[in-house]
Structure 1
Amino acid sequence: MKNIVKPRPAIDENLIAPFREMYNIFSLSCVIGDAMERSNVMRHDMKPKGADKKIIGPAITVKLTAGDIVDCLGVFEIAKPGDVIVIDAFGETETSIWGGLMSGLARNAGIVGAVIDGSCRDNDEARFLDFPITAKVSGPRAAHTAYSGRKEPIEINVPISCGGVIVNPGDLIVADEIGVSVVPYEDLEKVYKIAREQADKEIATREEILRGATVEELLNKFGRI
């Protein structure tokens, strides 16, 4: 059985913090996706299943094995407060690899959310714990780990595919009720600058619309809608 666990990458919180400060921006995943010219946006079926909260933080990646889905308990030995657990479960819809107890452990560890290309369960408990999860589906069938005791094969902090996007350890995850955008770590400064400018322009445009501005006036003033 293959079991690969790599250390958490070095992450400069000064690059992450400005994105966290955009928490209250409307449609944040859209703004971030637009700032990357529509790249690195996960599939439309990746939707919230837990608490009604945005997820913003660097990725701790998990790669599971198709047909042999196990619980990813090893992430709790690596993740730090503010991290996001991002799981490549091969889009498996019939075996859930994240449940209420995982949400509780993650919340206690300061993890800010989980993004799963696969299934989760215990959505009600996640909401009770105020823990946000984005996943492809949810369903009651658990992974076999609780019965078999086996926690491998698993790979942690390797490049993965999640929601149709390549995610590397340390990449920034921005998830909301609309979807998920992924900012490559090396592009954080550039993308933030563009996203902040767009968000500020949208705020100003929204104010003009509420004052009754026409399409022509908006285009003349802002260049886009």
Structure 2
Amino acid sequence: MKKIINARPEINGNLINPFREMKDVLSLSCVVSDAMERANVMRHDMKPKAADKKIIGPAITVKLTAGDIVDCLDVFQIAKAGDVIVIDAFGETETSIWGGLMSGLARNAGVVGAVIDGSCRDTDEARMLDFPITAKVCGPRAAHTAYSGRKEPLEINVPVNCGGVIVNPGDLIVADEIGVAVVPYQDLEAVYIKAREQADKETATREEILKGASIEELLKKFGRI
């Protein structure tokens, strides 16, 4: 059995905050995906299971082991306010790695959401707490830790595969009702510029459509629809 807990990466808030300021942009995961030319999008089955709110923040990653899903309470030694906990649970659908108490602890720590390639439970409690969870599925069976006492194997802040995308600690997570986009940390500045331009262009296009503009007029003015 092994337990690896790496330090939280150094994260420049000046690179993250501009994305947070886009929280009211419609279809934000789509806009960010477009800015990355369709790259780094999680599988379509990664969807919200609790509170109806966007998740925007740097990833604190958790890697579990297929067939031996344990609780990941140790992540709260690392996570800080504004972080997103990203869990690679190997797409496990029959054992839930995240429940209501985890949602409460995360909210108290200032964590802004959880993204789980696996199962969660207690989604009613998460909604009560206004804590957003994106996951593959939800179901009632808990991890065995409460019964076995084991909290390993577990790896924290290592590269993980979540929703079919490699996520490194510190990468930006943008999740909404449509899906999840992941922005590599080293690309944050460039992707933000493109995403902001795309969002502004879509707002202008939407306004023209509501005024009755034709497809030809829209293509001439904006170059795409």
Q: Shared fold (TM-score greater than 0.5)?
A: yes
Give the corresponding residue for 1:214.
Answer: 214
Write the mapping of 1:125-204 to structure 2, written as runs, cut at 5 A: 125-204=125-204
**Runs of 4+ off more than 3 Å:** none
CA distance in 2 between counterparts of 1:34 and 1:148 reads: 45
- Aligned residues, how many? 225
C-alpha displacement at 1:101, in angstroms?
0.3
1:24-81 CA distances to partner (integer Å, 9 max, x unpaired)?
Answer: 0000000000100000000000000010000000000000000100010001010000
Give the corresponding residue for 1:55.
Answer: 55
Cα RMSD for the two superposed structures: 0.3
Q: Which runs of 5+ in 2 are unaligned?
A: none
CA distance in 2 between counterparts of 1:150 and 1:100 reads: 20
One-letter identity of the residue aligned with 1:114: A
Give the corresponding residue for 1:74.
Answer: 74
Secondary structure in 1 aligned to 2:93?
A: coil
One-letter identity of the residue aligned with 1:107: R
1:145-184 CA distances to partner (integer Å, 9 max, x unpaired)?
Answer: 1111111110000000000000000000000000000000
1:65-124 CA distances to partner (integer Å, 9 max, x unpaired)?
Answer: 001000100010100000000000000000000000000000000000000000000010
Give the corresponding residue for 1:92.
Answer: 92
Q: Percent identity?
A: 84
One-letter identity of the residue aligned with 2:108: N
CA distance in 2 between counterparts of 1:149 and 1:19 reads: 40
One-letter identity of the residue aligned with 1:188: L
Q: Which runs of 5+ in 1 are unaligned?
A: none
Give the corresponding residue for 1:15.
Answer: 15
C-alpha displacement at 1:22, in angstroms?
0.2
C-alpha displacement at 1:211, in angstroms?
0.4
